[in-house]
Amino acid sequence: MTKSDVRIVTSINGLEKLKEYINNYIKEHPYNRELTNILDNPDLKYESNRQCYLGWNNYNWNEYSNANVELVMNGLFELADNNYSYRFYRLGEEKDEYEEYSYNSTLEGEEDLEYPNITRQFDDRYICDVLHREKSNDLLSKEDFEY
């Protein structure tokens, strides 16, 4: 099973509706003890007075094998059905693994949510540090062999 990095942006009102949707579903299905509201434990959470940014890193975000993920995804689609804005992004382990869903409401307080900044970039610091160490080792070894 591949792991993913996931980011969700909602309005503050949308987040409350999403939590309410998930919590109500869990209450209606008490026999399924695996269900939990994963919105309560994201890896990152930032809020302003208008919107919320949630994220999970290296998470098994597969709707077909994880009922909690399916519940969040259904909740996001429920937000759109009730005219609440959201943004959803998933980056998988492979470069071509990418999902994006969003809904833009025109209701006051729901418009113009931020979009996550997504980049896949080189980590130049790593290779530069390696080359620097190699260069330092070469200089030391030359000095050791010069008489």
102 has a pLDDT exceeding 80: yes
Arithmetic mean of pLDDT, 14-30: 94
For residue 145, the model assigns a pLDDT of: 47
pLDDT at 140: 53
**Using CA atoms, how far apart are residues 129 and 127, in angstroms rounded to an integer?**
5
pLDDT tens figures, 109-144: 788 788 887 776 556 777 677 777 777 776 555 555
Nearby residues of 147 by Cβ (< 8 Å), 6 or more positions away:
none
pLDDT one-digit tens code per residue, 25-62: 999 988 988 898 999 999 999 988 888 999 999 888 88
pLDDT for the residue numbered 110: 82
- pTM score above 0.75: yes
pLDDT confidence of 4, banded at 50, 70, 90?
A: confident
- Per-residue model confidence (pLDDT) at position 127: 67
Give every CB contact of residue 93 below 8 A, 6+ residues apart in sequence.
2, 3, 4
Residue linked to tokens 């949308």: 14
